[in-house]
Amino acid sequence: MASQAHKQVSVLAASTFAFTVCFAVWVMFSIIGIPIKETLGLNETQFGLLAAIPILTGSLIRLPLGMLTDKYGGRIVFLALMLSTVIPIYLLAYATQFWQYLALGLFVGMAGGSFSVGIAYVARWFSKDRQGFAMGIFGAGNAGAALTKFVAPTLVVAFGWQMVPKVYAVAMLVTVVLFWLFTYTDKAHRVHSSVTFRDQLKALKDPNVWKLCQYYSIVFGGYVALSLWMTKYYINEYGFNIQTAALIASIFVLPSGVIRAAGGWLSDRYGAHPVTWWVMLISWVCLFFMSYPQTEMTIQTIRGPLSVSIGLNAWVFTALLFVVGIAWGFGKASVFKYISDQYPENIGVISGIVGLVGGLGGFLLPIMFGALVDVTGVRSSIFMLLWGVTLVSLVWMYWSEIVPARRNGKAARTPALAMR
């Protein structure tokens, strides 16, 4: 019989692997959507909708999946969820019309709901002082977005985009088998049978939950949105081909996913609040500079016209994007440290609510990106929007956490990560 330590490691490893595959599937339209856009002649807003439609389903389903996980256990819910996506993924290869891609994308998007299942499933296998780190490791499955950046463009160039969903469908089926073989069930992790779904939904009345939703809408919703958008951004803004653009975009996607484990460790050590504050502040500063559009100015001097070009070149822009990705990677972990600290008895429900709103950010932002570009003609306007959303989080955090702490005579831990 396997020891408790063995079960912990096995569940964490298998769940992280499964989430990585699910996340890769969830964002596949960031790559295959580009040739589909060219074939169907879609505008920017339509491309944003195409790329984001799986994010909608994966977001909306997170709350009910979190509730089901609390009631019935993560293993069976995770397994059933992955199985339900295999056929829709495969059928994408045979779609020919825009509505067909949207309809199948809704079913494929269910893979994104795996986060609220896995985060609650994994967390309950670990003690409170190790939950942040464990959830951070699991959350590193976000790097599945980078996996798509590496694998999908190669398949598109070598075999055509239709090969991507075929390969992903097989990969998902293999993942289902491996997950079943290397995970375990502990009935003690379920909520008491007397707890009803209505009882679980009472968490929606808690204003603190909605504050965490706002934080997650930028650190996760923004991450998903840029994961979907950046390949095309590099193609249009800097003239790279699809393989080079996807590779450079992975400089944002991959570290942001992998670093989440370190964010969990920092949150365990220093607390969720100071980590989240610095995440918001650093990304807010970077987004300010990334918002500035490519500008050509002509200055009339005494020696005649002087032309000046102002704007970020590809490498300075990528460096700032990398910093934002690292910050958001920490933030994705720190927000869930808030949850495990403040709501230990119903992690599934709260993570479902927060994950739902964060995922909706990932759905709405690409559509808003496309609309902004169509209306303004300025590609960097997408970063202006993200800058504004981050500012809202900073202001909300200041007035709801720092000001009350000072009024109560407590030392606000915002200016520096206080050593314990």
Q: How many Å apart are CA 29 and CA 152, to the nearest integer?
A: 10
Q: What is the pLDDT of residue 306?
A: 85
pLDDT at site 205: 76
Closest CA to 30 of 94, 108, 82, 83: 108
pLDDT at position 401 over 90: no
How does pLDDT run across 163-209, given as a tens digit for each residue?
Answer: 999 999 999 999 999 999 999 887 776 665 556 666 666 766 778 88
User: Using one digit for the tens of pLDDT, what is the confidence trace for 280-307?
Assistant: 999 999 999 999 888 888 888 888 888 8
Q: Measure CA 325 to chain center.
A: 11
371 vs 196, more confident:
371
pLDDT in tens, 54-77: 988 888 888 888 888 878 888 999
- Which range scores top for mean pLDDT: 171-180, 204-213, 219-228, 311-320? 171-180
pTM over 0.85: no
- From 150, 137, 136, select the one nearest 27 (Cα to Cα): 150
Task: Identify the pLDDT of residue 200.
Answer: 62
When pLDDT is cut at 50, 70 and 90, the band that residue 419 belongs to is very low
**348-352-358-360 Cα dihedral, nearest 10 degrees:** 170
The domain locations on the chain are 4-407
**Mean of the per-residue pLDDT values of the chain:** 86
Q: What is the mean pLDDT of residues 81-105?
A: 95
| Whether pLDDT at 155 is above 70 | yes
C-alpha 222: how far from chain center: 7
pLDDT at residue 279 tops 90: yes
Number of alpha helices (DSSP H) and beta strands (DSSP E) in the chain: 20, 2
For the domain made up of 4-407, the CATH class stated in words is mainly alpha
Query: Considering the chain, what percentage of its residues have pLDDT values greater than 70?
Result: 92
End-to-end CA distance of the chain: 39
Stretch 251-266: mean pLDDT, rounded? 82
Residues 20/332, Cβ–Cβ less than 8 Å: no
